[in-house]
Amino acid sequence: MVLAPYGFVLPATITMLLLVVYPIVYGIYISFFNTNLVNKWKFVGLNYYVKAVQDVAFQHSLWMTVVFTTFVVLGHFVLGFVFANILNKPIRFKTFFRGVLIIPWLFPDVVVAYLFKWILNEQGGILNALLIHWGWISTPIGWLSSSATAFGCVIAASIWKGFPLVMIQILAGIQTINTDMYEAASIDGANGWQQFHYITLPALKPILTTVLILDTVWVFKQFTMIWLMTAGGPGNATMVSAVEIYKNAFNYFKYGYASAESVFILVICYLIGVVFRRLLRDD
């Protein structure tokens, strides 16, 4: 009987150990070796961590990741709030619009990446065709071929892909707020912004905290969209950490070094969670 509680948590514990703890610990273990993962295990200590800190390419990719994450998460929340508020209004065809707005999130990353790649293509992309048709430009623009526009395009595509999840979460949160509070605020003379600031935002704080942490960490690790749209290029214009790590691991077979870089990302993602929880904790 004394052991019964342990028996109940044992399956979950084993699952967590196998699927979460083991890969992380193994990844950290690999980062201390110059290895091919099969028969070469040369211990290098903390060399790869020191190298990563000094590596200009890794530093650049981290900076690009921070910028990318900031803009994408911001975009997700702005669009999420706007559309959640619209969908919360008593408008016609609300169910239809809700269905349409969730579509980007339902598409796999691969589909969205290729969709935007072709929309933005310099040769036959529809965006250039439309802009030329309307007379806004005279020659096609290489949206993904120029470092001036590629990063913005990748950010825009990532915002489009991810905002519905934030929208749905916010919408669910908004719908739990008692409408009496808005009614009372209105009677007290509060305008729309004041109602949003003093009622909506505080009420949504628990949801926002969770969504913000999850979204930030997800976007920070974003790989598929960028890899498929630009592979980190042109030049290094979209070289975020996930792409940099992938290239080191699977193009150059530097598993140890790539693992050390990944440990940095793991620590950063953990810190993001800690910082956001502290900043947004309910006093």
- Least separation in angstroms between residue 251's CB and another protein is 5
Contact with another protein (CB under 8 A) among 25, 37, 137, 271: 37
Contacts of 172 (CB under 8 A, 6+ apart): 207
Q: Is residue 245 a contact residue for another protein (CB under 8 A)? A: no
CB 31 within 8 A of CB 259: yes
| 247 touches another protein (CB under 8 A) | yes
The residue from 10, 15, 16, 36 that contacts another protein (CB under 8 A) is 36
- The reply on whether position 235 binds another protein by CB under 8 A is yes
Residue 43 makes contact with another protein by CB under 8 A: no
Which residue in 54, 95, 179, 251 binds another protein (CB under 8 A)? 251
- Residues 182 and 201: their CA atoms lie apart, in Å, by 12
* Per-position x/- string for 210-229, each x denoting binding to another protein as judged by CB under 8 A, each - no binding: --------------------
Residue 41: partners with Cβ closer than 8 Å, 6 or more residues away: 33, 35
If one asks whether residue 237 binds another protein (CB under 8 A), the answer comes out as yes
List, in order, residues 6 or more apart from 147 with CB less than 8 Å away.
234, 235, 237
Nearest-Å Rg of the Cα atoms of the chain is 23
Minimum CB separation of residue 34 from another protein in Å reads 11
Does position 262 bind another protein by CB under 8 A?
Answer: no
34 bridge partner residues = 42
Q: 147-174 and 109-119 helices cross at what angle (nearest 10)? A: 130
Cβ distance to another protein smaller for residue 36 or 194: 36
Count, residues in the chain: 283
Tokens representing residue 239 in the block: 């070289």
Q: Which one of the spans 63-71, 178-186, 244-252, 267-275 is the region binding another protein (CB under 8 A)?
A: 244-252
253 lines the binding site for another protein (CB under 8 A): yes
Interface with another protein, residue 236, by CB under 8 A: yes
106-125 residues in contact with another protein (CB under 8 A) are 121-123
CA 256/CA 35 separation, integer angstroms: 6
Choosing from 232, 258, 261, 276, the residue that interacts with another protein (CB under 8 A) is 232
Which ranges in the chain belong to alpha helices (H)? 4-16, 22-30, 47-54, 56-88, 94-106, 109-119, 126-133, 147-174, 179-187, 192-195, 201-220, 224-229, 241-246, 255-279
Binding mask 131-170 for another protein (x = CB under 8 A): --------xx-x-xxxx--x--------------------
**Interface ranges with another protein (CB under 8 A):** 36-40, 121-123, 139-140, 142, 144-147, 150, 231-237, 247, 250-253
